[in-house]
Amino acid sequence: MMPAVSFGYKCQECGEGTVREQIFHGYKTRLKGLPLTVDDARIGVCDKCGARHFDQSETKRWKTLLDNKYAEAYLQPSDIQDLIKQLGLSMEQFANLSGCTRQSLYNWQRPDRSAPQSRMADLFLRLIRESQKVGAINVLNFLTEEAGRLGLSVTPKRSPVVDIIALPRRVPAKSLTNSITTPLRLAAESDAPDECVVLVTESDEAIARLFYAYQDATLGLEFLHQVEFPEFDAEILFKDGSQFTSHNVKIIECKAVLGRTSRTEDQVARVVLSPKELSATIKK
């Protein structure tokens, strides 16, 4: 049984007409940022200016329809309980971590809860769960995928591509690991050097191993982590002041050949990488 609605009053918009109830079939609206189609929406319409008025009891009914439609799209009480256990936190500690109150957290975990957590809270909980599973994640990509899962179209503008300025630094070879191909593909074990040259950014982040291939006289690099671009231009400055530039350098299995040269990695003073367009899909 539908709740009673209150119409029949003077329109507050024009001050002349009377607001009368109309039934809209297949009425499309959005609640809590989510799309909803109401089969028989009861809306007040002014018979003079056409302004629409919404009754509180009717919009409450819509919210119930929304919760029922998306009930399975939210983390369930058992999912939230499992997440807290996996993190090894108390209710109070998890509330502090997620920025909610203990009471809200308690309500979200109730098997008989009347409504799930807000979509914003649900997304944050999902982010925590995903990072617990895989470690560092691309938040923008994650949120875009979640929006698509609910049928929402999102095309975020990607961050502008900026140059990466890196300086060479010698480090112990055994200290290097590659997040994609571990361990690093160095020379044969018997010939493996004690130290390697890595490229370090201005923020002191090691991004790639710089190496010289004597067999084909090429200078190359191997990225230590997944990068968000498939190819780049490179400007290499040597310690003697000479330099050369390589264009459209492609990354294949983390490796890239910068070009042919007689100068080894120990003679490099600086490398500037200019990424091309970012990949549309970045693998986790």
Contact of 173 with 195, CB cutoff 8 Å: yes
Q: What is the maximal distance between C-alpha atoms in the chain?
A: 93
Buried b (16+ CB within 10 A) or exposed e, 167-191: ebeeeebeebebeeeeebebeeeee
Looking at residue 181, its pLDDT comes to: 45
CA–CA separation, 127 vs 107, rounded Å?
Answer: 20
How many alpha carbons lie under 13 Å from residue 242 in its C-beta half-sphere? 6
Q: For the range 212-217, what are the long-range contacts, defined as Cβ-Cβ under 8 Å and sequence gap of 24 or more?
A: 212/263, 212/264, 212/265, 216/260, 217/260, 217/261, 217/262
Quote the CA–CA distance of 151 and 41 in Å, as a whole number: 22
Report the pLDDT value the prediction gives residue 21, as an integer from 0 to 100.
94
Name the fold adopted by 73-149: 434 Repressor (Amino-terminal Domain) (1.10.260)
Strand partners, 168: 199
Which of 281, 277, 232, 241 lies closest to 259 in space, CA to CA? 232
Candidates 11, 71, 75, 77; CA nearest to 45 is 11
Do 73-149 and 19-69 have the same topology in CATH?
no
Three-class secondary structure of residue 167 per DSSP: strand
pLDDT tens for 233-262 read 999 999 999 999 999 999 998 899 999 999
* H/E stretch holding 78: helix 77-87
Strands, E assignment, the chain: 19-31, 34-46, 52-53, 164-172, 195-201, 206-213, 218-223, 231-238, 243-250, 255-260, 268-275
The predicted pLDDT at position 136 comes to: 77
Any idea where the domains of the chain sit in the sequence?
19-69, 73-149, 164-275
Phi (first) and psi of residue 85, to 5 degrees: -65, -40
The vertex-65 CA angle with 60 and 69, nearest 5°, equals: 145
pLDDT (0 to 100) of residue 194: 79
Distance in Å from the first CA to the final CA of the chain: 49
Domain 19-69 of CATH type 3.10.20.860 = yes
Cis-peptide, bond into residue 77, ω within 30° of zero: no
| Sequential pLDDT tens for the chain (284 residues) | 556 678 999 999 999 999 999 999 999 998 877 888 999 999 999 999 999 999 999 999 998 898 888 878 889 999 999 999 999 999 999 999 989 999 999 999 999 988 889 889 999 999 999 998 888 788 888 888 888 888 787 776 666 678 899 999 998 877 666 544 444 444 444 455 678 899 999 888 899 999 999 999 999 999 988 888 889 999 999 999 999 999 999 999 889 999 999 999 999 999 999 998 665 444 33
Contact 178, 184 (CB under 8 A): yes
